[in-house]
Structure 1
Amino acid sequence: MDISNSVLILVAAFGGLIIFFVFLYFVPVNLWITAIFSNVKVGLLELVGMRIRKVPPGVIVNSLITATKAGLNLTTNDLETHFLAGGNVPNVIRALISADKANISLSFKQATAIDLAGRDVFEAVQISVNPKVINTPNVAAVAADGIQLIAKARVTVRANIAQLVGGAGEETILARVGEGIVTSIGSAQNHKSVLENPDKISKLVLERGLDAGTAFEILSIDIADIDVGSNIGAKLQIDQATADLKVAEARAEERRAMAVALEQEMKAKNVEMRAKVTEAESEVPKAIADAFRTGNLGVMDYYKMENVKSDTSMRDSIAKSDENKSSDRSRGNDKNK
């Protein structure tokens, strides 16, 4: 009996401990006491309800204590609602306190909206107090004289609290500043004027109102460095000249091909005409024979015709030999010279 009683006592004690820890888990008495001593009104039932809704009471109570000590008028429902919506409650409280100390108009509704939009509201308040410097990448642009300039700028921005929800980010600022630099350099008559007065680029870019629709306010744009690049105009002219040369060569090749084709065509026509002449000459003996038969040509007439042909052939051969001798003489004279 004594052993069974001891076991029952141990089981009861163990069960009591479990119940006690479960009670402390669902009823965080330490947080309740801390809230009371911090002049923050939080009921035990509210803390139990937070546990049931899977809201960490420590985050809500500690954030509420911090806000109350800073003079902010918030309730547990406000903080709990923001937490359940997926917000970062401590970050929002820090942002509200920083904005209040810096005399920046920022309501709890604005802060929670900015936080739920995915932006770091505390960082935004810090940028509003301490402006941020954004370094642009190298921006290459070509002046009117064809010389390339490579510029690098530093953009000083301040967070625009009213535009943080729905406003564009740093990438848009960098893109617009780069576009403004390209436009400013491109409108310059020559690269020397840009190198002499780089502040003109800053003025022209600032006048364009590049921060419209963004989450930042551009305070200044400073040209940090300008380097002279390559002569783009000369390269373009060289490329154009090369292209024109290739076009001219293609047209010349086309004309040459047409000339070769025409030459081959003329050769074919020459062969064709020679064939016709040969064909016509083959008809001459037939005509002579026919003339003999009909009596239109006598024997003496035939011999006279042959003598004329022989005489003509002899004269042609003599003329060709004279031409060859004269050409040989001219070649010899050229060699002697």
Structure 2
Amino acid sequence: MYIILTLGILVLLLLVFLVLINVGAYVKVKSNGIDLSFVNIVFSRLRGLNPDKLVDAYITLLRAGVSIEYTRIESHALCGGDVLSVVDASVSALKSSIDMDFEQLCKLDLAGRDVVSAVDSYVHPVVINCPSNKQPGYIVTVAKDGIRLGISVKLTVRSDLKSLIGGAGVLTVEARVQEKVLGAVGAAESHKDVLNNPSILVEHLQKESNALEGTYFTLVSVDVSGIKVLDNLKAKLDSIQSEADKKVAESRAEAQKADAKARQQEMKAKLQEMNANVVSARVVLPDAIKSGIDDGVLGTRESKVKNVSQWRSQAL
């Protein structure tokens, strides 16, 4: 009996607690003339939600003219969606006559998109800087005459709400714009054509309709915000090539010089060898003469005269 009484008291205290923490939301509902039962508010609390926030969102939607059930808002909150962002976006879309209802905005929100920013950028087109402010500088391009130009472009775009799911974002737009600008300047015969007529870049970007294809943006306008002559790339490349040719020529000259020195040393070695042969021959020559004399092949002048006289007498 004591246990039952204790449980009854605990249940009563729990009910009183639930009433006290939810009575504010219920009073807010009734003061706005909205038909929402107290049980729904209590169940929202039991599901781990914040009834005060859900009630505020529900009241805002109904007063804005959006026909919706409280349970639908509760379901979006249970799915992890940002209820307040969806409510703000729904009200903005309704006031701006945008064909985008609460259900579609819930899908975009659950897909991870910033629905408030998307609706705002549809109503008020935004400007995309190329390159972005996070990457200061210019899009570096090169014309056919070798002059490098730094170009900055501003794109005014509007969000395409129906392409938010699966559509590429700002980074893709920046990359494509840079690609188109590089192509347009690269096709120019002279950098002066671009300097004198920047509109060729605008016309090229507007003509290339696929620049924003696959993104969740539609193009409103294109503006060339800056053009700067950087340097003469062709002259730099020619200078680098000349320096490279010079180094190659110097290398060849050094190789030829080294080869000539090697041949000079080789000839010196041959000369030393020949001198050695001469010295060797001089050493052997006396012995050869002596041997010749001993063999009768060679002799002195007197012996030669005597021999000649003997030959003559024999002949007579």
TMscore range, shorter length: 0.7 to 0.9
Kindly indicate whether the alpha-carbon contact (under 8 Å) linking 2:18 and 2:42 is maintained by their aligned counterparts in 1.
Answer: no
**Amino acid paired to 2:143:** A
Alignment match, 1:56: 50
Deviations 1:252-281 (A, max 9, x none): 111111111111112112211221222222
Kindly indicate whether the alpha-carbon contact (under 8 Å) linking 2:163 and 2:215 is maintained by their aligned counterparts in 1.
Answer: yes
| C-alpha distance in structure 1 between counterparts of 2:18 and 2:76, whole Å | 26
Kindly indicate whether the alpha-carbon contact (under 8 Å) linking 1:144 and 1:188 is maintained by their aligned counterparts in 2.
Answer: yes
Alignment match, 1:4: none
| C-alpha distance in structure 1 between counterparts of 2:123 and 2:302, whole Å | 131
Secondary structure of the corresponding residue to residue 210 of structure 1? helix
- 1:162 maps to 2:185: no
Residue identity over aligned pairs, in percent, reads 38
Kindly indicate whether the alpha-carbon contact (under 8 Å) linking 1:132 and 1:156 is maintained by their aligned counterparts in 2.
Answer: yes
Secondary structure of the corresponding residue to residue 279 of structure 1? helix
> Where in structure 1 are there 5+ consecutive unaligned residues?
1-14, 304-337
- 1:91 maps to 2:85: yes
Q: CA separation of 1:164/1:25 partners in 2, compared to 1, >3 Å: closer, same or farther?
A: farther
Alignment match, 1:10: none
Alignment match, 2:100: 106
Kindly indicate whether the alpha-carbon contact (under 8 Å) linking 2:151 and 2:224 is maintained by their aligned counterparts in 1.
Answer: yes
- 1:24 maps to 2:25: no
Q: CA separation of 1:124/1:296 partners in 2, compared to 1, >3 Å: closer, same or farther?
A: same
Kindly indicate whether the alpha-carbon contact (under 8 Å) linking 1:141 and 1:148 is maintained by their aligned counterparts in 2.
Answer: yes
Q: What is the CA distance between 1:301 and its match in structure 2? A: 7.4
Alignment match, 1:292: 293
Alignment match, 2:211: 210
* Equivalent position to 2:114, from 103, 116, 120: 120
Q: CA separation of 1:261/1:239 partners in 2, compared to 1, >3 Å: closer, same or farther?
A: same
Secondary structure of the corresponding residue to residue 261 of structure 1? helix
Q: What is the CA distance between 1:299 and its match in structure 2? A: 2.0
Counterpart mapping for 1:297-336 below 5 A: 297-300=298-301
Alignment match, 2:269: 268
Alignment match, 1:317: none
Counterpart mapping for 1:216-231 below 5 A: 216-231=217-232
Counterpart mapping for 1:137-156 below 5 A: 137=131, 138-156=138-156
Q: CA separation of 1:175/1:300 partners in 2, compared to 1, >3 Å: closer, same or farther?
A: same
| C-alpha distance in structure 2 between counterparts of 1:113 and 1:264, whole Å | 89
| C-alpha distance in structure 1 between counterparts of 2:80 and 2:14, whole Å | 32
Alignment match, 2:183: 183
Q: What is the CA distance between 1:284 and its match in structure 2? A: 1.1
How many pairs are equivalent?
Answer: 289
Alignment match, 1:241: 242
Between 271-280 and 245-254, the greater mean CA deviation after superposition: 271-280
Deviations 1:291-312 (A, max 9, x none): 1211222222799xxxxxxxxx
| C-alpha distance in structure 1 between counterparts of 2:270 and 2:303, whole Å | 34
Between 238-247 and 69-78, the greater mean CA deviation after superposition: 69-78
- 1:279 maps to 2:280: yes
> Where in structure 2 are there 5+ consecutive unaligned residues?
1-9, 132-137, 305-316
Q: What is the CA distance between 1:20 and its match in structure 2? A: 8.0
**Amino acid paired to 2:63:** K
Between 37-46 and 123-132, the greater mean CA deviation after superposition: 37-46
Kindly indicate whether the alpha-carbon contact (under 8 Å) linking 1:40 and 1:64 is maintained by their aligned counterparts in 2.
Answer: no
**Amino acid paired to 1:174:** E
Q: What is the CA distance between 1:25 and its match in structure 2? A: 4.3
Secondary structure of the corresponding residue to residue 292 of structure 1? helix
Give 4+ residue runs of structure 1 displaced > 4 Å after superposition: 17-21
- 1:258 maps to 2:252: no
| C-alpha distance in structure 2 between counterparts of 1:288 and 1:267, whole Å | 32
| C-alpha distance in structure 2 between counterparts of 1:25 and 1:142, whole Å | 72
Between 254-263 and 107-116, the greater mean CA deviation after superposition: 107-116
Alignment match, 2:38: 44
Q: What is the CA distance between 1:251 and its match in structure 2? A: 1.1
| C-alpha distance in structure 1 between counterparts of 2:299 and 2:225, whole Å | 115
Q: What is the CA distance between 1:187 and its match in structure 2? A: 0.9
C-alpha RMSD over aligned residues: 2.3
Kindly indicate whether the alpha-carbon contact (under 8 Å) linking 2:147 and 2:191 is maintained by their aligned counterparts in 1.
Answer: yes
